[in-house]
């Protein structure tokens, strides 16, 4: 079957497929103008098409002076642009030092011009330099924090496949560098091109997969995050809280929960407006994040009511944390209409996991009862269910 394939036909097919994929990416970019990753990916596929078009021009005309170095430069640019598009889609800031990859083409152009009359050397150099570029990109992707995500893993595999194929072809041509015509040269070229076409198509399929997974992640966060304060919403807090409770029970550890309620929040809305009220809620959530540990769970249960789950924390430590948090919130310097200061205080109820409890709802109910006592006692204070137990005993 390979013997019946014409290298020129296969190269033209590669150009058509790359051009179609570039057009598809441009259509996606037209539908998502704010997502420049599609434009970069279109450039990647277009670069691949131009590279092989220059090879076809060399094949038909025999001109090596500019076609050979430029063709390989465009092929080198293809995986680099694919990397740029992936980083843009991941929306991470990783600096610009990856652009050193383009410098691979500078010595290559000079060497190509030097060996343009040679039959084997351009193929050897082209395979080595483009293969090293793909290998460098695979290593670079492996160092990203997102290296375990499916699109990044697939792109690493594609670049390793391309690098291995290009190194094999370079080694094959080096083995027969002195031969006028290497044995099975046609079949090796066709196999190489088929593998590279497959890698390019796989790479292009990764692009919409990445955008789909990113959109899915965004929707998941939207469903589990309070859009105003950017802490967990009630549903997420209850799900994560129940999971943490089960972990604590299995490990026979400690767990505490705080219930926070802003004192006289309606008065803030009435005196300063709902926009100021929203700003107060955001500032309170931000202060909670600053004052608590990274693994403490913060959630907005509704209105001006928040909850905090404190893993590995007993009731005594939880009371100290609650008191420190209450003081930090009271110290916030907030202003409303006409730059009038807004006195912001919270009442906090504290409860700790008890041996018979198996549901997060029961812990929240005890903390809520303690919060109610804090409100009745004059607000701007911390109460715990331990105090209630002690009063019941006495």
305 included as an active-site residue: no
**Domain final residue, candidates 202, 223, 244:** 223
Is 215 inside any structural domain?
yes
What's the pTM? Answer: 0.63
Is 33 inside any structural domain?
yes
pLDDT of residue 393: 38
Together in a domain, 178 and 303: no
Together in a domain, 191 and 238: no
Together in a domain, 339 and 210: no
* CA–CA distance, 56 with 372 (Å, rounded to integer): 80
Question: Residue 168: pLDDT above 50?
Answer: yes
pLDDT of residue 281: 95
Together in a domain, 247 and 205: no
Together in a domain, 150 and 261: no
Helix (H) or strand (E) holding 297: strand 297-302
CATH number of residue 257's parent domain: 3.30.70.270
Q: pLDDT digit string (tens) for 203-251?
A: 888 888 888 888 888 888 778 899 899 999 999 999 999 999 999 999 8
Is 61 inside any structural domain?
yes
Q: Which of 68, 160, 71 is nearest to 120 (CA)?
A: 68
Together in a domain, 141 and 211: yes
Q: pLDDT digit string (tens) for 258-274?
A: 999 999 999 999 988 99
Residue 290 class from Cβ within 10 Å (0-12 exposed, 13-18 middle, 19+ buried)? exposed
Q: pLDDT digit string (tens) for 276-331?
A: 999 999 999 999 999 999 999 999 999 999 999 999 999 999 999 999 999 999 99
Is 242 inside any structural domain?
yes
Domain count across the chain: 2
Q: pLDDT digit string (tens) for 41-89?
A: 999 999 999 999 998 998 888 776 677 778 878 888 888 888 888 888 8
From the list 216, 230, 287, 304, the catalytic residue is 304
* CA–CA distance, 273 with 279 (Å, rounded to integer): 10
Together in a domain, 253 and 200: no
**Local structure of 85: helix, strand or coil:** helix
Contacts of 143 (CB under 8 A, 6+ apart): none
- The values of phi and psi at residue 117, to 5°, are -85, -5
Is 228 inside any structural domain?
no
Together in a domain, 272 and 365: yes
pLDDT of residue 104: 56
Containing structural domain, residue 365: 234-393
Least confident stretch, 110-119, 172-181, 262-271? 110-119
**Domain final residue, candidates 162, 197, 223:** 223
* CA–CA distance, 239 with 186 (Å, rounded to integer): 61
Question: Residue 369: pLDDT above 90?
Answer: yes
Q: pLDDT digit string (tens) for 135-144?
A: 988 998 888 8
CATH number of residue 17's parent domain: 1.20.1070
pLDDT of residue 93: 64
């Amino acid at each position: 079957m390979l013997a019946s394939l014409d290298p020129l036909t296969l190269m033209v097919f590669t150009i058509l497929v790359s051009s179609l994929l570039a057009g598809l990416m441009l259509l996606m970019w037209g539908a998502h103008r704010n997502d420049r990753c599609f434009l970069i990916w279109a450039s990647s596929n277009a670069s691949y098409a131009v590279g092989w078009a220059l090879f076809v021009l060399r094949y038909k005309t025999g001109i090596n002076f500019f076609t050979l170095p430029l063709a390989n430069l465009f092929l080198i640019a293809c995986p680099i642009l694919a990397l740029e598009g992936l980083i843009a889609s991941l929306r991470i800031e990783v600096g610009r030092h990856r652009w050193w990859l383009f410098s691979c083409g500078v010595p290559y152009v000079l060497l190509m011009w030097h060996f343009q009359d040679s039959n084997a050397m351009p193929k050897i150099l082209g395979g080595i330099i483009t293969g090293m570029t793909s290998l460098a990109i695979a290593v670079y992707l492996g160092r990203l924090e997102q290296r375990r995500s499916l699109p990044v893993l697939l792109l690493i595999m594609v670049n390793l496949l391309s690098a291995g194929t290009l190194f094999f072809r370079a080694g094959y041509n080096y083995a027969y560098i002195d031969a006028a015509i290497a044995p099975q040269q046609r079949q090796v070229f066709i196999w190489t091109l088929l593998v590279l076409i497959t890698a390019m198509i796989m790479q292009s399929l990764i692009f919409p997969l990445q955008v789909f997974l990113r959109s899915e992640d965004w929707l998941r966060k939207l469903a589990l995050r309070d859009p105003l304060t950017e802490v967990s919403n009630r549903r997420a807090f209850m799900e994560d809280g129940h999971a943490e409770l089960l972990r604590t029970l299995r490990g026979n550890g400690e767990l505490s929960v705080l219930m926070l309620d802003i004192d006289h929040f309606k008065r803030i809305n009435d005196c300063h407006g709902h926009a100021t009220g929203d700003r107060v809620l955001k500032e309170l959530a931000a202060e909670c994040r600053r004052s608590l540990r990274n693994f403490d769970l913060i959630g907005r249960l509704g209105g001006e009511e928040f909850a905090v789950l404190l893993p590995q924390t007993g009731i005594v430590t939880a009371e100290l944390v609650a008191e420190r948090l209450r003081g930090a919130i009271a110290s916030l310097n907030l202003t409303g209409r006409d730059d009038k200061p807004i006195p912001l205080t919270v009442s906090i109820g504290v409860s700790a996991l008890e041996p018979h409890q198996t549901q997060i709802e029961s812990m929240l109910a005890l903390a809520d009862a303690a919060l109610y006592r804090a409100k009745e006692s004059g607000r701007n204070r911390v109460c715990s269910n331990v105090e209630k137990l002690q009063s019941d005993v006495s």
